[in-house]
Amino acid sequence: MNEDEKVAEEYLKKHHDNVIFEPDGNIPPDFLIENSIGVEVRRLNQQYYTQNGNARGLSETARPFRDRVEKVLSRYVVEADGASFWVGLRFERVNGELDVSKKMIKKAIDAFQKQNEIIPFEYRMSDNVLLKFLVRGSKTNRKFQLGTQSDLDARGWVVDICSEAIKHCIKEKEMKIKPHFSKYDRWWLLLVDHMNFMKSEDRVEIVKNIAKPVYFERIIVINYEGSSQVFDLKA
């Protein structure tokens, strides 16, 4: 059971009886509730479309890239009477990828140190990735702490971004459940929101943008902690 399925399970058990994980094994549905409703679970995240038309979640490339930067930064410790610094990251994907090596990250840090650690200081690690040394940090053993991150692919109007993300999830999951649709009376799609963009005033417009699903009776969006429901779209 992955992270989002655990959140979904906790949410479903609060609101429904007889919640069963993977009732038919490692095929849809992810959960069976009330003995008749198949529930598929998916992370709701913003998608990036590569040149060949494939969709990938922004976090799929951002998270490992951020972790790579963080790993290099963590190797540097504050020297006696030395300072610590907050570091920012600004990036944009090329063909869906963020390809900057640990060697290049170290080169950026070396450049900062060679100019006597004067801030602010920016170093372009590639055409699409910028490392920024921003302000002095608080007292800590680590010399560099990763702070602000600016994902330039995550731009756009909130209603459009959220609508497209939900429609992508519906399309992907409907293709997945189609061969198994006849097994259960009803099917729901439960989305765990990792975008956190939706405000109450946006939800009406988002729902208007989503056509009635073919296979799902309900589309439920919950926050990433599973503590509240963002909205419920009933077909």
CATH number at residue 171: 3.40.1350
Please report the pLDDT score of residue 52 as a whole number: 62
Do 170 and 126 share a structural domain?
no
Please report the pLDDT score of residue 33 as a whole number: 97
DSSP 77: B
Please report the pLDDT score of residue 31 as a whole number: 98
Q: Round to whole Å and give the CA distance between 232 and 218.
A: 7
Do 191 and 131 share a structural domain?
no
How many domains are contained in the chain? 2
Do 79 and 145 share a structural domain?
yes
Do 63 and 140 share a structural domain?
yes
Do 42 and 111 share a structural domain?
no
Q: Extract the tokens encoding 1.
A: 């059971």
Closest listed residue to residue 188, CA positions, set 72, 50, 33: 33
Q: Which of 124, 151, 178 is the last residue of a domain?
A: 151
Closest listed residue to residue 12, CA positions, set 146, 190, 158: 190
**Domain assignment present for 97:** yes
**Domain assignment present for 67:** yes
Please report the pLDDT score of residue 66 as a whole number: 87
Q: Round to whole Å and give the CA distance between 6 and 18.
A: 16
**Domain assignment present for 191:** yes
User: Residue 130's domain spans which residues?
Assistant: 58-151
Q: Which of 151, 168, 198 is the last residue of a domain?
A: 151
Do 112 and 79 share a structural domain?
yes
One pLDDT digit (tens) per residue for the chain, 235 residues:
999 999 999 999 999 989 999 999 999 999 999 999 999 999 998 766 655 656 666 777 777 888 999 999 999 999 877 889 999 999 888 766 788 899 999 999 999 999 999 999 999 999 899 999 998 877 778 999 988 888 776 665 778 878 888 999 999 999 999 999 999 999 999 999 887 766 666 778 888 889 889 999 999 999 888 888 887 888 6
Q: Extract the tokens encoding 61.
A: 């490339």
Amino acid at 225: E
Closest listed residue to residue 56, CA positions, set 165, 219, 161: 165
Residues contacting residue 6 through CB under 8 Å, at least 6 positions apart: none
Q: Round to whole Å and give the CA distance between 47 and 224.
A: 17
Please report the pLDDT score of residue 63 as a whole number: 79
Partners of residue 145 on adjacent β-strands: 86
Write down the H helix ranges in the chain.
3-15, 58-73, 102-114, 158-177, 200-208
The structure's pTM equals: 0.63
**Domain assignment present for 53:** no
Q: Round to whole Å and give the CA distance between 16 and 171.
A: 26
Q: Extract the tokens encoding 42.
A: 């998916």
Q: Which of 88, 119, 151 is the last residue of a domain?
A: 151
**Domain assignment present for 138:** yes
Cα–chain-centroid distance for residue 14?
25
Cite the beta strand spans of 71-206 per DSSP E. 85-91, 121-126, 129-136, 144-151, 186-193
